[in-house]
Amino acid sequence: MEIREQDNCRIMFDPALLAEDPWRCFEPDFWQHQQAVLGSAKGRGTTWFVRGERVDMALRHYFRGGLFGKLVKDQYWFKTWSACRSMAEFSLLQHLVERGVRVPRPVAARVCKSGPYYRADLLTEKVPDATDLVARLQQGALSSEQWQLVGEMVRRMHDCRVNHTDLNAHNILLDSQEQIWLIDFDKCSIQRGDGWQEDNLSRLHRSLVKEVDKAGIHWQESDWQQLLSGYRRSSSD
């Protein structure tokens, strides 16, 4: 991993994954000029999917949500470099990758200071040919074995002591090989103690119940029991 600083900005990147200029790769215009934009997705901001020389990537700028986000769009209070949101998410993803949890590999993170505030960006490897769990369940039901694999991956994350504070059905992906991926680790952290694991599971359960009415997904309570079976089985492996 390399770290560079310039004009109140710090970047951290993996040179094995990023062949492009790390100072330019956080700007959508750079990728547009290279004709390397694969697509985009709208959320709190726009996530750009780009084709790099070594890997395809997702580029995200950090935006605030909620009422406060209407007043202060993308600035955060600076404490330390490592505590900045893109740097923290980069390090957490690296922690999970090294321990065999299937998450996007972190490619590069940027933090730019302006007085007591900062703005942040993150590049991660794009999960190839992946569909989020909601879209997948709109097409049809998962098998018992697939639900157990979801539970196993969540348990593997928990065994790394990672508290995913926004674990919902949109943050679980299935790729073309039916492998399970976990995404979106902004504001997540390594957590000690107990209790937060059940909170993660409860949040995921609520999101599945909600999507039955909202998105018409093929899901029932027996599927949840299969997920829990895989979660508990993984703990005894």
Structure tokens at 69: 């986000």
Q: For the chain, what is the radius of gyration of the CA atoms?
A: 18
Tell which residue, 127, 126, 129, 168, has the closest CA to residue 150.
168
The DSSP symbol for 169 reads G
Structure tokens at 138: 């709109």
Asked if residues 47 and 59 have their Cβ atoms less than 8 Å apart, the reply is yes
Decide if 74 is catalytic.
no
Structure tokens at 173: 């992906």
The one catalytic residue among 56, 74, 166, 186: 166
Give the other-Cβ count within 10 Å of 85's Cβ: 18
- Long-range CB contacts for residues 115-118, cutoff 8 Å, separation at least 24: 116/77, 116/78, 117/75, 117/76, 117/77, 117/78, 118/75, 118/76, 118/78, 118/84
What DSSP assignment string belongs to 92-148?
Answer: HHHHHHHTT---PPEEEEEEEEETTEEEEEEEEEPPTT-EEHHHHHHH-PPPHHHHH
3-state SS, residue 9: strand
Catalytic site positions: 166
